Amino acid sequence: TRPHKDIRSEAGKLPAGVQWEGKGHSDRVLNCHFAVKSPGIPSHAPVLKKFADANIPVFSELEVALAFCASRDIVAVTGTNGKTTSVHMAASVFKAARRRPRVYGNVGEPLSAGVLKIKAKDTVILEASSYQLEDSRWFRPQAGLILNLTTDHIDHHGTRENYIAAKRNIVAWQGPKDVAVLNLDDPAVLAMHTGAASEV
């Protein structure tokens, strides 16, 4: 959590007419069609229960940013360990193939911060954490990589099952023309593809 004075300073850069709140939320936050949750906010936060009770959908920053993305060539990487290394390796492969990779997500700059710089022919390579994936309702990368799975972030997700469910969102809505790259040595990773339509 950032100090209130830092938030106030950032809020001062918002366009005129944009309202904001700090140090908690009033019911004014419910005057919306949908909400975008910062990945760091735990799923048990009281404001999220308010949205649920009001039938207001909550989307991930990742999905909202992708709605404005000119490229549909999306490669997403998740796993408990090795995400950042794998993202940079993938970017090197695409660069060697004379493609223009654009790296975003948990690796550094959020996709929402750079999405308007992405061109239609770019390849977007995303590092996707369980925090980012847990709120995804229809995230469909053309290639989804799951590196490994160990128990992690239980303080945030509550249970191992919730953690796995969040990670599974990287392949859950893929179609038959999409590809899932899985760690064959990890049975938990293989099980995450059960019911998904993508090619392994």
Phi, psi for 94 (deg, rounded to 5):
-65, -35
Between 10-19, 127-136, 152-161, the lowest mean confidence (pLDDT) is in 152-161
Tell me if residue 156 is catalytic: no
Q: Annotated catalytic, 193?
A: no
- In the set 106, 167, 169, 193, the catalytic residue is 106
The percent helix, strand, coil of the chain (3-state, each to 5) is: 35, 15, 50
Round to whole Å and give the CA distance between 15 and 26.
21
Q: What's the CA angle centered on 130, arms 200 and 125, to 5 degrees?
A: 60
Q: Average pLDDT for residues 69-73, to the nearest whole number?
A: 95
3-state DSSP assignment of residue 28:
helix
Choose the most confident range, by mean pLDDT, from 87-91, 103-107, 109-113: 87-91
Q: Is residue 153 annotated as a catalytic residue, yes or no?
A: yes
HEC profile for 133-193? HCCCCCCCCCEEEECCCCCCCHHHHCCHHHHHHHHHCCCCCCCCCCEEEECCCCHHHHHHC
Q: How confident is the model at residue 68 (pLDDT cuts 50, 70, 90)?
A: very high
Report yes or no: 120 and 154 within 8 Å, Cβ to Cβ. Answer: no
Residue whose C-alpha is closest to residue 168's, from 139, 200, 127? 139
Give the active site residue among 25, 50, 153, 183. 153
**Is residue 117 classed exposed, middle or buried when 0-12, 13-18 and 19+ CB atoms within 10 A define those classes?**
exposed
Q: What is the pLDDT of residue 2?
A: 61
- Whether 193 shows a pLDDT value over 90: the answer reads yes
Highest mean pLDDT among 6-10, 22-26, 57-61, 139-143: 139-143
What number is the average pLDDT over the span 171-181? 96
Q: What percent of the chain shows pLDDT beyond 70? A: 94
Q: How far apart are CA 170 and CA 138, in angstroms?
A: 9
pTM: 0.83
The reported pLDDT for the residue numbered 72 is 93
Q: Please identify which of the residues 37, 83, 156, 193 carries the catalytic annotation.
A: 83
